[in-house]
Amino acid sequence: MGVDLNEQLNLHPGRTLLLRVCGDSMLGAGIRHGDLLVVDREATPRSGRIVVALLEGGFTLKRLVRRGEHWWLEPANPAYPPLALGGNDDDRLWGVAVHVIRSLPGGR
């Protein structure tokens, strides 16, 4: 009996994709360097959700937070500062992280 990951992870071609995490800024959210993320490009990015954003030409993974009139991207690691969203015209939200996939030690 097989498992259909498309069904289990609610994957939709053209809307969801897998991204490999680089870095440790989201350790406190349980997302580690090397994990795979399922990112939904059509999910609604609300405050509190973990999002992929394009800032200054590079991708970043952070928690989206609204404070007053401004949106922030907050890391889940105190070693990193929050980032203001919208500082540049090219900054934009790119997708919402909806699943994390991690290999267990010795599992590969």
List residues with catalytic annotation. Answer: 25, 62
Task: Label residues 20-48 b or e (16+ Cβ within 10 Å = b).
Answer: ebeeebbbebebeeebebbbbeebebeee
How far is the C-alpha of 30 from the C-alpha of 42, rounded, in Å? Answer: 23
Category of 7 on φ-ψ map: left (φ > 0), alpha (ψ -120 to 50) or beta: alpha
DSSP 48: T
For residue 7, the surrounding DSSP H or E stretch is helix 5-8
